[in-house]
């Protein structure tokens, strides 16, 4: 098994972040970086589908919401450890990902994107009506009092330890996508992207592999949502609005869908930059203007995203030296 140069850099970065980031972050920044890692994981679920299959999902944050909901419900309803709850959350969200795959058979491009947007809108309404479980009774598990406690993993009780845990799982998520790329699904996806007619003629079960892609995307979103639930011990519906799903996809495009670095950049832009601006006391409305302008600029000038520009920069330097 050969590891490409990009893979080595990626693993190196992951190990570096794992070791150093929790140590240098205080209370505030460890929360910010944990959230960033969760959204990076979710974005990875978007970028691989977009670059390898040409399928657009404008509902990834909504799927994260579902994962977070299951995580919280499991935590408050039973006494299982964190990892089991996370596995259940991931499984349920995978199923929802498969449900989203059904329209994908008949649509592509803008129509598919819009159907996923409708799904995101629907999930937004459900979550804002029934809220997130916080220890109450009944199926929805909501009480108007203070939230019941949340059990973090045994290995990662403190905020810094939890940050390490999340970085580790995010790295595993990227490796999972890479594994898919190298095995049969990756080849099938490449063929489907080229031409579905050719895929059918080659005997590839298009339905099966498209569903697999959506399922994987759902899995990653579910894990990301579950981990996000662990950051605060509770979740708020305003984090999972349909507009947030669109925003995350937009940042995935800005970051660069073809590279793992793109997903990382997207996560950083989505969570670190606004937190930084807020820390500096920048007016919230002006932050919005800056964000929109940066988004517009990046989309118009960098078709391969910021990651593409960075990589081109390095390639040029390597070539010239």
Task: List the interface residues with another protein, window 242-281 (CB under 8 A).
Answer: 242-243, 246-247, 249-250, 253, 271, 274-275, 278-279, 281
Instruction: Name the percent of the chain in helix, strand, coil, to the closest 5.
Output: 80, 0, 20
For another protein, the closer CB: 168 or 290: 290
For residues 255 and 85, give the distance between their C-alpha atoms in angstroms, rounded to a whole number.
31
Residue whose CB is less far from another protein, 5 or 106: 106
18 or 277, CB closer to another protein? 277
95-124 footprint of another protein as x/- string (CB under 8 A): --------x-xxxxxxx-xxx-xxx-xx-x
Q: Are 39 and 269 in contact (CB under 8 A)?
A: no
Q: What value, to the nearest 5°, has the Cα angle with vertex 56 and ends 50 and 59?
A: 125
Do the Cβ atoms of 89 and 223 come closer than 8 Å? yes
- Of 9, 77, 151, 287, the one binding another protein (CB under 8 A) is 287
In 3D space, the residue among 218, 240, 214 whose CA is nearest the CA of residue 229 turns out to be 240
The minimum distance between CB 2 and another protein, in angstroms, equals 32
Residues 214-243 that bind another protein (CB under 8 A): 231-236, 238-239, 242-243
**How far out from the chain centre does Cα 32 lie?**
15
CB of 105 to another protein, least distance (A): 8
Nearer to another protein, 95 or 286 (CB): 286
Binder of another protein out of 31, 52, 73, 76 (CB under 8 A)? 31
d(CA 156, CA 159): 8
Q: Is the CB of 12 or the CB of 122 nearer to another protein?
A: 122
Binding another protein by CB under 8 A: which of 296, 312, 314, 315?
296
Which of 2, 4, 144, 320 contacts another protein by CB under 8 A? Answer: 144
Q: Is 309 in the site for another protein (CB under 8 A)?
A: no
Nearest Cα residue to 196 out of 98, 54, 58, 51: 54
CA distances (Å), 213 to each of 62, 209, 317, in order?
17, 6, 36
Site for another protein in 48-87 (CB under 8 A): 56
Q: What is the dihedral of CA 220, 225, 230, 236, to 10 degrees?
A: 170
Grouping H, G, I as helix, E, B as strand and the rest as coil, residue 151 is coil
Crossing angle for the helix pair 242-255 and 109-130, to the nearest 10 degrees:
140
* CA 218 – CA 92 distance, rounded (Å): 9
CA distance 201 to 185: 17
Nearest residue (CB) to another protein, 131 versus 180: 131
C-alpha to C-alpha distance for 71 and 88, rounded to whole angstroms: 7
Q: How far is the CB of 289 from another protein (least distance, A)?
A: 4
- In the list 143, 151, 161, 176, the residue contacting another protein (rule: CB under 8 A) is 143
| Minimum CB–partner distance for residue 54 and another protein (Å) | 9
Nearer to another protein, 2 or 129 (CB): 129
> By CB under 8 A, which span of 11-19, 82-90, 146-154, 260-268 interacts with another protein?
146-154
Q: Closer to another protein at the Cβ: 111 or 314?
A: 111
Distance CA 274, CA 294 (A): 12
Using CB under 8 A as the binding rule, whether residue 23 contacts another protein is answered as no
Considering the rule CB under 8 A, would residue 35 count as an interface residue with another protein? Answer: yes
Q: Between 88 and 150, whose beta carbon lies closer to another protein?
A: 150
């Amino acid at each position: 098994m050969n590891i490409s140069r990009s893979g080595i850099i990626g693993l190196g970065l992951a190990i570096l972040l794992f070791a150093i980031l929790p140590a240098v972050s205080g209370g505030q920044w460890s929360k910010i970086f944990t959230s960033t890692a969760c959204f990076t994981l979710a974005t990875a679920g978007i970028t691989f589908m977009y670059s390898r299959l040409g399928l657009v999902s404008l509902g990834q944050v909504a799927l994260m919401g579902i994962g977070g909901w299951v995580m919280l419900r499991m935590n408050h309803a039973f006494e299982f450890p964190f990892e089991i709850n996370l596995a259940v959350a991931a499984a349920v969200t995978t199923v929802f990902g498969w449900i989203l795959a059904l329209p994908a058979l008949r649509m592509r491009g803008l129509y598919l994107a819009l159907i996923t947007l409708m799904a995101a809108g629907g999930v937004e309404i459900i979550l804002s009506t029934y809220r997130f479980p916080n220890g109450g009774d009944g199926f929805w598990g909501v009480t108007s009092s203070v939230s019941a406690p949340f059990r973090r993993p045994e290995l990662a009780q403190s905020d810094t330890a939890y940050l390490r845990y999340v970085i580790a799982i995010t790295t595993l998520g990227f490796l999972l996508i890479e594994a898919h790329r190298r095995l049969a699904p990756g080849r099938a996806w490449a063929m489907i992207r080229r031409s579905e007619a050719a895929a059918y003629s080659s005997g590839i079960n298009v339905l099966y592999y498209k569903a697999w892609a959506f399922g994987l995307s759902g899995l990653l979103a579910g894990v990301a949502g579950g981990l996000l639930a662990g950051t605060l011990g509770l979740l708020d519906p305003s984090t999972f609005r349909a507009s947030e799903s669109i925003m995350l996809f937009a940042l995935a495009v800005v970051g660069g869908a073809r590279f793992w670095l793109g997903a990382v950049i997207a996560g950083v832009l989505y969570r670190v930059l606004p937190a930084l601006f807020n820390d500096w006391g920048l007016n919230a409305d002006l932050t919005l203007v800056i964000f929109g302008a940066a988004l517009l600029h990046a989309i118009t000038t960098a078709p391969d995203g910021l990651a593409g520009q960075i990589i081109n920069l390095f390639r040029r330097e390597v070539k010239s030296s």
